[in-house]
Amino acid sequence: MSSSRLAEQRREVIEIARRMTADRLVVGTSGNVSVRCGDLVAVTPSGVDYDRLDVADIPLVDLTGKVVDGDLKPTSELPMHLTAYQLHDAGAVVHTHSLHATALSLLRNDVPAVHYQLAEFGGVVRVAEYATFGSCRLAETMSEALTGRTGCILRNHGTITIGAGLSQAYNRARQLEWLCELWLTASRVGAPSLLSDAELARCAEQFAGYGQQSR
């Protein structure tokens, strides 16, 4: 991996971290972002204001978590990120503390099929069992909920979404927050109607050929 490519991906980590704040998916220095660069991972540091970050502030770690470049300590949630790369073929990971998704995690074990956009995640999004932040146990419960999916919710905590790149992972984080807000809004006034598993499967097939496939 060339140094220019690594610098580009570190800049993208900063850009997405700042977008999380602007889009109100995190507050302060909460949440974290990473992208895989060959055998390395560029990841946000622990406890640093995103507006103050520079390229050199983004640690590079190997897939065991060893820092190979950078003076700052990686995010405390590094075990979750590494698990997503090692076991779920992620190209990038976005972890938010978004309000509506976290609120839903206090009430349910999954995100109901209130909209066909759930097909983007591979089916109904699961809520992982609670575990202390930064712990290996949290990485384990996340991994269980993420199996066969491109995102999950962490109970009493936030969300994890993965993608081939940071743009896709981040768009999924925003979409997941919207789906949770949709269910919470509708459920205030009644029992929302839900899509069937068969319809979600049809939508998943549609998504497979969606967009500009030649680009």
Query: Which run of H or of E encompasses 62?
Result: strand 60-62
Q: What angle do CA 25, 177, 142 make, to 5 degrees?
A: 90
Residue 65: CB atoms within 10 A of its CB come to 13
Is 77 among the residues known to form the active site?
Answer: yes
> Could you say which of 12, 77, 120, 177 is catalytic?
77
Edge to edge, the sheet with strand 40-43 lists 67-69, 60-62, 40-43, 32-37, 92-96, 158-163, 151-154, 127-128
Closest CA to 129 of 101, 151, 148, 110: 110
Residue 74 DSSP one-character state: B
Which residue in the block uniquely carries the two structure tokens 């897939």?
A: 63
Closest CA to 161 of 151, 148, 170: 151
Q: Which residues are catalytic?
A: 77
